[in-house]
Chain A
Amino acid sequence: MVFIRRFIGWLVGAIVVTVAVLLLANRWALGPASPPPQTNPGNTQALGELLYSRFLFPFEITSLVLLVAMVGAIVISKGRTTPRHGEPQAEETR
Chain B
Amino acid sequence: MIPASWALLVSGLLFTIGVVGVLVRRNAIVIFMSVELMLNAGNLAFIAFARSMNSLDGQVIVFFVMAVAAAEVAVGLAIIVNLFRLRESVFVDEINLLKG
Task: Give residues in A with beta carbon < 8 Å to B.
Answer: 43, 46-47, 50-51, 55, 58, 62, 65-66, 68-70, 72-74, 76-77, 79
Contact = CB atoms under 8 A, between A and B. Distances in A.
A51 B63 contact: yes
DSSP majority for the A interface? helix
Contacts of B71: 65-66, 68-69
Contacts of B77: 73
B67 A77 contact: no
16 contacts: A43-B59, A47-B63, A51-B60, A62-B63, A62-B68, A65-B67, A65-B68, A66-B70, A68-B71, A69-B71, A69-B74, A72-B75, A76-B79, A76-B81, A77-B81, A79-B82
B56 to A, nearest CB: 5
A55 B60 contact: yes
Contact of B67 (A46, A66, A73, A74): A66
B37 to A, nearest CB: 20
A84 to B, nearest CB: 10
